[in-house]
Amino acid sequence: MNLAIDIGNTFTKIALFDNNVLKSYVISEKVMDAIHLANSKEVDHIMICSVGKDINHYLNLVENKERIMVLNQECKLPFELNYNTPETLGVDRIAAIAGGMQLYPHTNLLVLDLGTCITYDFIDAKSIYQGGAISPGMVMRFKALNQYTAKLPLISNPGKNISVLGKSTTECLESGVVNGLIAELNYQIDFYKSKYDNVQVVICGGDAKYFETKLKEDFVLCAELVMLGLNNILQYNNATNA
């Protein structure tokens, strides 16, 4: 069994795979839940990903360290990079791309990760990563409007049906952030679909469900995309190192 662990600032995502088949997927507030599973006898290989948190302490708690692979820019990847600064490419973006490839190999693929930041990543049908874009996520935009002004309130739970024409300060904030994001998301999707043929769009991230009914183009929503990508990279490295 393969174990994929994504350690975030707030939550840790844990997934078990039998080869490429996802057997279980949980989200925990405790990193130690993942470490306990990592020390289980049923786990053969472990892939760990962390965007910002120092994970050396947790790595030291894993009993058989030879089973561990930590995702970084030096790992072998199942795709080529056409990116000017590969050393700065975030491991979360790498994993999401690899997850999209697992679902749609040899396809023009646009991956949108709607989290703290929104990332747009495009890989072509020849399995060459071409780049993308990064912008502030929904929560970050609401927080910025609150923190960098004197009187604007913090919006923590925007409504589902938001009018473009706001009739109160709260409604205006919701309209500006949410409708602005919808326009941005649709623009990015339209750009790639106008430049490439048969683009498949895959969306993941904490805010993905909020926007799933608000986009005009067809897409696939996959909450486990990053975990699929971690396992894909792990499988690829195991195969190439065999």
The per-residue pLDDT for range 55-89, each reduced to its tens digit, is 888 888 888 778 889 998 888 999 999 999 999 99
**Active site includes 92?**
yes
The confidence score (pLDDT) of residue 242 equals 60
pLDDT tens digits, 136-146:
999 999 999 99
Domain locations in the chain as residue ranges: 1-70, 71-242
Q: Which fold has domain 71-242?
A: Nucleotidyltransferase; domain 5 (3.30.420)
First to last CA, the chain: 17
The confidence score (pLDDT) of residue 198 equals 96
Is the model's pLDDT at 36 over the cut of 90?
no
Q: How many CA atoms lie within 13 A of 209 on its CB side?
A: 3
Mean pLDDT of the chain: 92
* Residues in a beta bridge with 204: 113
In sequence order, what DSSP letters do the residues of 187-237 get, joined into one string?
Answer: HHHHHHHHHSSS-EEEEESTTHHHHTTT-SS--EE-TTHHHHHHHHHHHHH
Q: Which one of the listed residues 92, 113, 121, 207 is annotated catalytic?
A: 92
Give the per-residue SS3 of 97-139: HHHHHHHCCCCCEEEEEECCEEEEEEECCCCEEEEEEEEECHH
pLDDT tens digits, 113-130:
999 899 999 999 999 999
Minimum mean pLDDT among 102-111, 154-163, 175-184: which range? 154-163
Q: Which fold has domain 1-70?
A: Nucleotidyltransferase; domain 5 (3.30.420)
pLDDT tens digits, 168-186:
999 999 999 999 999 999 9
| Domains 1-70 and 71-242 in one fold | yes
